Amino acid sequence: MDPLLDPITGDYAGGSTDTLANAVYLRLMTPLGGWWADPTLGSRLHELSRSKDSNRIDLLACQYAEQALQPLLQDGRASRVQVSSQRQGSGRLLLNIEVAETGGHIRHFQHQVRIA
């Protein structure tokens, strides 16, 4: 079990987790190549905060999230990852992420993305 990270504040939430919650959070929040111990950890989602708000951004955000979560599939901790998006208003996008753990449990996560 790992200490649970709060996805809103980034601090420890006080509990513990045996799910992929921390792995999903860290892979989405860390800029790709931003962690010294693993240059493949992270996502390109931070780049969207400088992008023009258009319909193609939704597709890019889903692709960036799927790429960031691909190592969970490769190392066998997850058997499936699905990402969809929905608009939360001007300049905001909500990613709905479904991860099927290898044990059969399906976990749902949400991740906010800021768009310029």
Per-residue pLDDT tens digits for 31-88: 999 989 989 899 999 999 988 888 899 999 999 999 999 999 999 999 999 999 999 8
C-alpha angle 28/31/35, rounded to 5°? 105
d(CA 27, CA 69): 7
Check pLDDT > 80 for residue 9.
no
Tokens representing 27 are: 């892979």
Q: Supply the pTM of this predicted model.
A: 0.88
